[in-house]
A and B are shown apart, each in its own frame.
Chain A
Amino acid sequence: MRIAIPTLLFSFLFLVSCNKDEPITDSSGETYMLQIPQGFQAPEIPDDNPLTPAKIALGKELFYDPILSKDNTISCGSCHMQNHGFSDDKALSIGVEGKVGERNSPTLTNVAYKPHFFKDGGIPTLELQILAPFDNELEFDLNIVDAVDRLKADDHYSAEFLKVFGTEPSAFGLTRAIAAFERTLLSGNSRFDRHFIQGRSVLTDAELRGYELFKSDELQCASCHSGIMFTDYSYQNIGLKENYPDSGRARITVNQADAGKFEVPTLRNVAVTSPYMFDGSIETLDGVIDFFASGGTNHPNKSELIQGFEISDQEKADLIAFLNSLTDQSFLSNQEFQP
Chain B
Amino acid sequence: MKKILYVALAILGLTSCLFNDDDSDDNNDSGTMTGTVQLQVVPIVNGEVLTMNEIYQDNFGRDYWFSTLKFYLSNISIISSSGVQTQISDIAIFDYEPNRIGGPIRTTESFRVDVGTYSAVRFETGVSPDLNAMDVTTFPNGHPLAVQNNMFWSWNTNFIFTKAEGNIIADSTIPWFVHTGTDEVYQPMVSLNKSFQVNSGQNTIVQVVLNLDELLNAPNQLDLATDGQSHTTDNLELAKAYQENLANAFE
Give CA–CA (A131, B159) in the complex, Å. Answer: 13
Q: Give the residue of A3, A17, A135, A175 whose beta carbon is less than 8 angstroms from that of B1.
A: A3
**B57 interface residue (CB < 8 Å to A):** no
Number of B residues with CB within 8 Å of any CB on chain A: 49
Encoded as 1 (CB less than 8 Å from any A CB) or 0, chain B from 121 to 152 comes to 00000000000001111111011100110101
Contact, CB under 8 Å: B137 / A7: no
Contact with A along B228-245 (1 / 0, CB 8 A): 000001101000000000
CB-CB under 8 A from B109, the residues of chain A are: 14, 16
Q: Which residues of the other chain, A, contact B105 by a CB distance below 8 angstroms?
A: 9, 12
Say whether, besides A2-B51, A6-B49, A20 and B138 are in contact (CB < 8 Å).
Answer: yes
Contacts of A180 in B (CB 8 A): none
Inter-chain contacts of A128 with B (CB < 8 A): 135-137, 154, 157
A6 to B96, CA, bound (A): 9
Q: Are A175 and B137 in contact (CB-based, < 8 A)?
A: yes
Q: How many A-B residue pairs have CB under 8 A?
A: 112
Task: Give the one of A5, A48, A127, A175 with max B CB within 10 A.
Answer: A5
Alpha-carbon separation in the docked complex, A15 to B109 (Å)? 7
In this assembly, does B217 line the interface, its C-beta being within 8 Å of a C-beta of chain A?
A: no
Given contacts A13-B108, A118-B155, A134-B154, contact A21 B140 (CB under 8 A): yes
> Quick check: B138 and A172 within 8 Å, CB to CB?
yes
How far is A20 from B143 in the complex, measured between Cα atoms in Å?
8
- Judge if A197 is at the interface, Cβ distance under 8 Å: no
Residue in B89, B107, B236 with the greatest tally of chain A CB atoms within 10 Å: B107
Interface status of A171 (Cβ within 8 A of chain B): yes
Q: Find out whether the CB atom of A13 lies under 8 angstroms from the CB atom of B110.
A: yes
Residues of B within 8 A of A127 (CB): 135, 137
Cβ contact within 8 Å between B108 and A10: yes
Cβ-defined contact, B104 with A14, below 8 A: yes
B107, A10: Cβ atoms under 8 Å? yes
Most buried by A among B50, B54, B89, B106: B106
A122 within 8 A of B: yes
Q: Tell me if B234 and A251 are in contact (CB < 8 A).
A: yes
A124 interface residue, CB < 8 Å from B? yes
Given contacts A5-B98, A131-B154, contact A18 B144 (CB under 8 A): yes
Q: Does A254 contact B (CB under 8 A)?
A: yes
Q: Is the CB of B101 within 8 A of A136?
A: no
| Chain A residues in 8 Å Cβ range of B137 | 127-128, 131, 170-172, 174-175
Check A3/B138 contact, CB under 8 A, given A13-B110, A145-B148.
no
On whether the beta carbons of B156 and A122 are closer than 8 Å, the reply is yes
With both beta carbons as reference points, the residue of chain A lying nearest to B207 in the complex is identified as A10
A interface, CB within 8 angstroms of B: 2-3, 5-7, 9-10, 12-18, 20-21, 23, 48, 118, 122-125, 127-128, 131-132, 134-136, 143-146, 170-172, 174-175, 251-252, 254
